[in-house]
Every structure is written in structure tokens, then in C-alpha cells.
Chain A
Amino acid sequence: MIPLGHYLIVSAILFAIGTAGVFLRRNLITILLSVEIMLNAVNLTFVAFGRAHGTVDGQIITFFVMTVAAAEAAVGLAIVIGLFRHRESLNPDAFTALKW
């Protein structure tokens, strides 16, 4: 059986990759993908703790997170399409003003 610590390390690595993606990439879609990676890192943590404690709470939370993440992805992508129609760009630095 794989100890809890390994799961957490993998999760931390995944989270760090996601964070780095959010900060370093200049493409909105990639950023959204990075956010998904971060979410899944958190999911992995929940599931791992749930298994370690022998409860289902972690899995239930994970389902919620997946549901919200699906909704978030839908809304996020819709906004990205909307933005792209305005500026022909996916670079977040092109959208620093509150209105134009």
C-alpha cells in the first residue's frame, strides 16, 4: 500500500505545476488548463486523506469540486471566446482595462 505522504507529494507537485502554468503562460486557454491541474491536485489530496482516514467525505468533496470545475470551465471558455472576438488575442495582458 502506498503511504499517504506519496500522494501528498504528487499532489503538491501537480499543484506547483498548475501554479507555474497560471503565472508563466500567456495563453488564456492554457491558464484555464493550469487551473484545472491545480483543482485536480486538490482533488487528489482530498481522496488521499479520505482513504487514509477511511471516510467518504474526501470523495464527496471531490465530486463537488469536479461539478464546479465543469461549470467553471464552461463559463471560463465562454468568456475567453467573448474576449477573443473583441481583441483577436488570448494574451491576458491585452485585457488590463476594466472597460473599453
Chain B
Amino acid sequence: MIALIPFFPLLGFVINASLGRRLPKTVSGGLASLVMIAAFAVSVLTVWRLADMAPGQRVMEQTLYTWIASGDFVLDLTFRVDPLSSVMILVVTGIGALIHIYSTAYMHEEVDSEYARYFSYLNLFAAFMLVLVLGANFLVLFIGWEGVGLCSYLLIGFWFEKKSASDAGNKAFIVNRIGDYAFILGTLAIFVRFGTLDFQRIATAVAPLVPEPMFGTLSIATLLLFIGATGKSAQIPLFVWLPDAMEGPTPVSALIHAATMVTAGVYMIGRNAVLFGHAPETMAIVAVIGASTALMAGTIGLVQNDIKRVLAYSTVSQLGYMFLAMGVGAFGAGIFHLYTHAFFKALLFLGSGAVIHALHGEQDIRNMGGLKAGLPITYWTFLIGSLAIAGVPGLAGFFSKDEILFETFAHGHTLLWVIGILTSLLTATYMFRLVFLTFHGAPSHLAPSDAPSHLAPSDAPSHDSHAAPSHNGQGLASHLHDAPPAMASVLIVLALGSVLAGYVGVPGHNALGAWLAPSFQARSVTTLSDEQVGTPGKAGASGAGEAGGEGLELSLMVVSSIVAIAGIGLAMFIWLKRRELAEKAAGAFPGLYRLLLNKYYVDEVYDALIVQPIRIVSQEGLWRGVDVHIIDGAVNGTASIVDGGSSLLRRVQTGSVRAYAGSLLIGVVLILGYYLWR
């Protein structure tokens, strides 16, 4: 039954990819959504059955066949559901299905074949992500790992006629390849060390070991795996592809940011919690990278002007939180945040999609404003999403973020906690800057100047004079329409989720933490692991938390609530009341402002340090040198040797019978002579 979960989206992909261009939109889009709903239903059923089992034994396996059998190394294509993957499949299929439904409305302007292509990619994306989270060993996980990389490339570059879109697709793919390379090396290191790739067996083998005090094999292996995770999950130093991924259709961003792809790295670390727990050096690196990514992305998000770009940096920032949680050993908290983040980030992206949809492609928040009246559903759902991500008490993001911060503090990483709190302030501020600039204030998109630059620039002037409300200028205001039913209903469902999702992990009654905890321990030695693994491996939300005292958690909770509300207040003060303050601040620190606006020049630095040297070496050395002279030289040399030899030999072929007969005679005489007189 488990295999059905990835099978359904795969079926949708096969049908839409092979027959899609002949199907009408309702059929191809409906089919794609239907297979996702079916997968979700099967997932719910699976998790239901899982919940019936005894807490320690919650594991279901399905082996499809033996993939590789070589000597005593046997590798099966096995899917395994345990508490951790159960949460993941629910998120992937649940949020994924909602995004599919939303897409049926969002993409309706595409022609039939493009529409089907879009949905086939979307289904394939979900299928690979499900393979990733269900895989019972590194190799099956790796199929999904590579598959989501491929699909992100296809979807980010969906509008491949646009140069920037195909560039962004390439960037995503190539940056991910760097991480994947490290991931393969890490997998190999694990295999060399343990002789198996099965997660459970690795965990069992690791559990009795003493955590590595110094940098050793385990640290190197986990570090390589973590580099792979930084590629998929957009952490320093490989985060650069995610903001550019905005070139894809908005629901794709929602899918990448919420349900699939970027969560892969977090999941992978959670899946190998025992392994990572035994490499404290790596864990420290993970935590530091997570915290610094969170802070860096938060500061960039503060000054960006593209609505989707702000959200992209907020995703990077929130992923930083998740890695921070992973790094301090609070695996349950990290997965909890992953799960709540899926709701509100999907909501925010789909909400921004509704805004972009309503404004016919406008993405610059400086050209928006005052949309509250025209788009009530979008506004209120977006507001809920923003409140949730900002960490306002009572909403989903509050519980998960708070748990991460508490665990960080409880594990003694005070500096990281301060960074986390600071990022929390930034999160609240930039999210509400987005809300206020987009939905409040004067509707600056009514400016008489030629509005949305993105759409139909050619037909704008000619229609302007006589045709009534067209796609620009004054026409836009009257043209504002809130999200169509398919989109609006999804937004409302996600908004409900953003409010309620956090209540499975209320401090004190952390149902999710308790549910996940067995996944972070080696199964067969459960009794041993708690004592032997030590603090980092202790894992689970229930770990140090409960013992540390509820009083501490409560006071930290108050602090982070105050910080969240302060952030919102700050945003309200600056961008709602005194908008000129923002400009003044930017004017006061022009260097800092430019640094942030240009994303710390990371892209430029990478370009100068990596891209250009590779380009020069490739062009001058490999192409003009090796390729032209050595390889082409060898090929052309062979040809000219044959050519020259032939032109010599063709002189022999005179066509004169007598010459042939003469050579025959001479030959015979010579051979006979040789045998007679030798």
C-alpha cells in the first residue's frame, strides 16, 4: 500500500506527459489534482494504521524488489513509513494537493499542451519527493533527491522562452549538483564505514558508538551529507538558487518552498538523527550555518522589492531556523517547524500569486498598495500567514519557532539564541513591511504612468486612447478581481491550517514531538540509546525540554512574543505611518542599504571566484587548447594520414590489365624464389 503513495502522482505524470496535449484543461488539471488527493488519502490511511501500532514499533515497510545484489551487499528498493516520514508524506501530499488545485485556476491562461506539461511536472515533482521521504536507504532517497532537483529545474524554467527563467532553472540545477556531489561522497563514506545504506541499520550500528570527540570519519561523512542538504535546502553557501527560483510560476514556488524540495535537506538530517548525533562537530557547524543563514536571509528580505523575492528570502531564513534546530539536536522541533512552515509559506506564496494574478503580472511591491479593499480574501489570508510566520502567539509559527528557540537556549547556545531572536524580529518586520506596502496605504499602482511593465507592453499605447479599461493605467483598479473560487478556497484552507497546525505541538503536551521521537533513535537499541547517545543524540522535542523546566520555556515564550509583536509594530510605524523614515534610513546608510539590496553581493562574488575562472579555463584551456588542438587535432590528423596514404596508393590502381598481370607475375616469382632458394 505504501508504494501507492508515490505511484499515484507518477501515474498522473505518465498520463499527462503522454496524452496531456490532447486533453482539455479540465481533464489534465483535474487528473493531476485527483491523483494528489488520492495519494493524500492513501497517506492518511497509512498514518492511521501507523497510529494504531505501539509507539515504539511504528514502522511499515514495503519492499518492491531487490535492486542490487552483489556478494553480501544487498540493496532493496524499499519504502518505509515511520513517524518522521508519516509527517512528511502528509505535508507533501496534503499541501501538494492544495497547490495542484490552486494551479488549475492560476495557470488557466496557458494553452492546453503547456497546461498539461505544467501539471505533469508538478505530479512528477510530488512523486519524486514522496520517493525521497519514503526511501528506506540512501540510494532510494537519492533517486528522489535527484528527481526533485530535475523537476525544480523543469518547473523554474517552465517559461523557458524567457532568458531569465531558463537561466534560473540552470542555476538551480547546477547549484544543486554541487550539493549532490557532496551528498554522493557522504553516502559512499557511510557505506565504506558501515557496509550498508539502510537508515535503520546505520542507526543501529552507530548507536553503541561514542560520539566522535574530534573530527573523524563520521564527522566527515555527515558534513558531506550536510553540504548536500545546503544545496537542496538553500543554506549558506548554496542558497543562491532559491531566490532566483522565483522565475517559475508562483504555485511552483509554493510547492518548492513549502511541500517539496527545500524540506529535503532538513528531512535527511532528521532521518539520520542518530548518525548526526554522533558527530558533534558537524552538528555545531549545522547550527551555526543555520543561524547565520537565518539572519543573513532575514536582513536581505528587509529591503527587497519583489513580493516573491521577499518570500523567498523568508523561506531561506526559516530553513535556517530548521537547521538551527537540527544542529542543536532538537530534531523534533526542526521537523515541527518544517510542518507548520509548509502551511504558512504555501499560504503566503499562493496569496502573493493571487495578488500577482489580480495585477496581471506585477510583482514589485512599490507599485502595489491599497489592495486590501479589492482583494479581501487574499488580504485576510495573507495577513494570517504573515502573523503565523512572524510568530504571533496562538498561530502555527509561534509554537514551532518558539520550540526551536527554547531548545537552542536550553542546549546552552545562547549566542545562537540571540541570533534567532534577532531573526524573529526581522521576520516580523519584513513580513509586515510586505503586508503594509502591498495591501495598505495609497494605491500606487493607480499612478498614471504606464503601469505593469511585465505585461503586453506592445499593445498598451494603442489601446489606451479608445479602448476602455485595458490592462494598464487607470484600468487596473476596476480590473482588480479577487482570487477565483479554486484559488480562494485553497487560501482559506491553508489559512485555517496556519492557525491550527501548531496545536499538535503545544508546549507541555507536545504530541508531535512524542510522535516523532522514536524516529530519531536507533530502533532495536531504543533502551540503550538514551544513555549512550548523550545529549546531541538524545533528539526529540521531549529531550531536554521537559526537564529544563516549563518556567524557562514560558519566559522565553514571552520574550519571543514580545519580539514578534515589536517587529510588527516597527513595520507598522515605519511603513504605515512614516514611510519617509524608511527612505531616510536607507539614505543614512547608503552602503549598508546597497549591500542588502544586492544580497551581500554573493552572486557577484561567486561569479568572480567560481563562474568566471571556470569559464576562462573552459574557454581558453579546454576549448581552444585541449579540444581544438589535441582532440580535434587527433581526429583531423587521422583523417589526413588516411587521405595522404590513399592518394599515394591510388597511383597503383592504373586500371591497366597488363600492369596487374605483371605485378601478379613478379609476386609469384618472388614467392616461388623465396621457397626454392631459402
Contact = CB atoms under 8 A, between A and B. Distances in A.
Contact of B655 (A19, A31, A95): A95
A97 B657 CA distance: 11
A92 B656 contact: yes
Interface residues of B, number: 8
B590 interface: no
A19 B664 CA distance: 11
B665 A93 contact: no
Contact of B661 (A22, A95, A96, A98): A22
Q: Main secondary structure on chain B at its contact with chain A?
A: helix
Interface in B646-663: 654-658, 661-662
Contact of B654 (A19, A23, A96): A96
Nearest to B655: A96
Interface in A43-100: 92-93, 95-98
Nearest to B661: A22
Chain B CB count within 10 A is highest, among A19, A96, A98, for: A96
Contacts of A31: 657
B656 A93 contact: yes
A92 B665 contact: no
A92 B662 CA distance: 14
B656 A22 contact: no
Contacts of A19: 665
Interface size class, chain A: 10 to 19
Interface string B622-661: 0000000000000000000000000000000011111001
Nearest to A97: B655
A93 B658 CA distance: 9
Nearest to A98: B655
A95 B660 CA distance: 13
Contacts of B658: 22-23, 92
A23 B663 CA distance: 11
B377 to A, nearest CB: 83
A23 B655 contact: no
A12 B657 CA distance: 23
Nearest to B654: A96
A88 to B, nearest CB: 18
Contacts of B665: 19
6 contacts: A22-B658, A31-B657, A93-B656, A95-B655, A96-B654, A98-B655
Given A92-B657, A96-B654, A96-B656, 6 more contacts: A19-B665, A92-B656, A93-B656, A95-B657, A96-B655, A97-B655
Interface of B: 654-658, 661-662, 665
